[in-house]
Amino acid sequence: MDSLDLQVLAQARDWFNAGHKVWLVTVIETWGSAPRPPGALLCLRGDGLVAGSVSGGCVEDDLIDRLRHGERVATPSLIAYGVTKEEAARFGLPCGGNLRLVQEPLQSVAWIDDILARTARHELVARRMSLATGAVTVESASRGDVFAFDGQQLVALFGPRWRLLIIGAGQLSRAVAQMALALDFEVICCDPREEYNLTWDVPGTTFSKAMPDDLVLELQLDPHSAVVAVTHDPKLDDLVLLEALKSPAFYIGALGSRGNTAKRRERLELFDLTPAEIDRLHGPIGLDIGAKTPAEIAVAIVAEIVSVKNGVLLKQKKEGSAIPAGRLQAQS
């Protein structure tokens, strides 16, 4: 789920409540280099205004053109783009990309109100829409669920599928939290130290004064969870690592220099952790981008989390990318 999609739903609700005809368009399937993933949303107003996106722009233009020429579907219907090479080029779908969409008239906004209220409480919910009738229901979902369309029903997820636990409530933690929120993570900050927890003020996050290891056990970290330990206090950082490294969390990182990281690994070896579990630790934390300030370090940390989440090999540049002249001179 993308936070943009929640904004699209909110806009669709507002237009509907203002008396406009509204249609929702959902990406259901892509092939090749389609620019938006399945589940991406766009809403169309009766006069041609749009919110959200399903492509790079040309598909949106065609949808608006269809609407203005009287194509106003009364029931959910399928639309395909990029079936031929020429059509793919016309609609900005490179490399023969293809796109399938469902377009549906908005008949009620009660389900939108439900989704917006529940996601505001950090709940993960699924919207189930019947292609035959257009009927919509909203139900609870789990982190392992994914967008689905079987030709009869569309199931789209809304809410934070990914969760980030930050240990430490300092300046760096604030920057990491704000970036993670922008990426649709549910963010939880934990710091039992009173001099830090009294000043945590990042809207949209959850704060805990529990001991980090207790909180890890309480949260029951899953493969959609990440943990970042940045207190600079081994008593707290090591506590959370002892439990987190045994969990299925997809990312676990701790702040510290190479020397401090080596010492941390030596300490972890004294406990009931296997070498494989200790090797899961990302330390020093973050990508090597020469970060100096808290904001830059946060960029490095969040970039590494996203890379691991997306299953991308940790590297600084894509293969074949141009190397700036300054770097070439430095390497020569």
Q: Residue 315: inside a domain, yes or no? A: no
Q: What does the pLDDT read at residue 143?
A: 78
226 vs 221: CA distance, rounded Å: 8
Q: What does the pLDDT read at residue 233?
A: 85
146 in the same domain as 180? no
> What does each C-alpha distance from 297 to 42, 110, 140, 316 come to in angstroms?
34, 42, 36, 15
Q: Residue 45: inside a domain, yes or no? A: yes
> What is the C-alpha end-to-end distance of the chain, expressed in Å?
45
320 pLDDT band (50/70/90 cuts)?
low
Last residue of a domain, one of 158, 181, 204: 158
Q: Residue 319: inside a domain, yes or no? A: no
166 in the same domain as 57? no
Last residue of a domain, one of 112, 133, 158: 158
147 in the same domain as 235? no
49 vs 262: CA distance, rounded Å: 57
Structurally, how many domains does the chain consist of?
Answer: 2
Whether a cis peptide bond, with omega within 30° of 0, leads into 284 is yes
Q: What does the pLDDT read at residue 61?
A: 83
Q: Which two tokens stand for residue 97?
A: 């990309």
186 in the same domain as 212? yes
128 in the same domain as 10? yes
On whether the pTM is more than 0.75, the answer is: no
Looking up residue 200, the CATH number of its domain turns out to be 3.40.50.720
Q: Residue 100: inside a domain, yes or no? A: yes
Name the more confident of 262 and 97: 262
Last residue of a domain, one of 101, 131, 158: 158
206 in the same domain as 60? no
Q: Residue 48: inside a domain, yes or no? A: yes
Helices first, then strands: H and E counts in the chain: 12, 15
Least reliable range by pLDDT among 20-29, 288-297, 313-322 = 313-322
192 in the same domain as 72? no
Q: What is the dihedral of CA 263, 265, 268, 270, to 10 degrees?
A: -70
212 in the same domain as 130? no
191 in the same domain as 45? no
**249 is in which domain, residue-wise?**
162-309
Q: Residue 322: inside a domain, yes or no? A: no
249 in the same domain as 208? yes
Q: What is the pLDDT of residues 195-227, one digit of tens each?
A: 877 789 899 899 999 999 999 999 989 888 999
53 in the same domain as 109? yes
Q: What is the pLDDT of residues 266-303, one digit of tens each?
A: 999 999 899 999 999 998 899 988 899 999 999 999 99
Q: Residue 85: inside a domain, yes or no? A: yes
91 in the same domain as 9? yes
Q: Residue 243: inside a domain, yes or no? A: yes
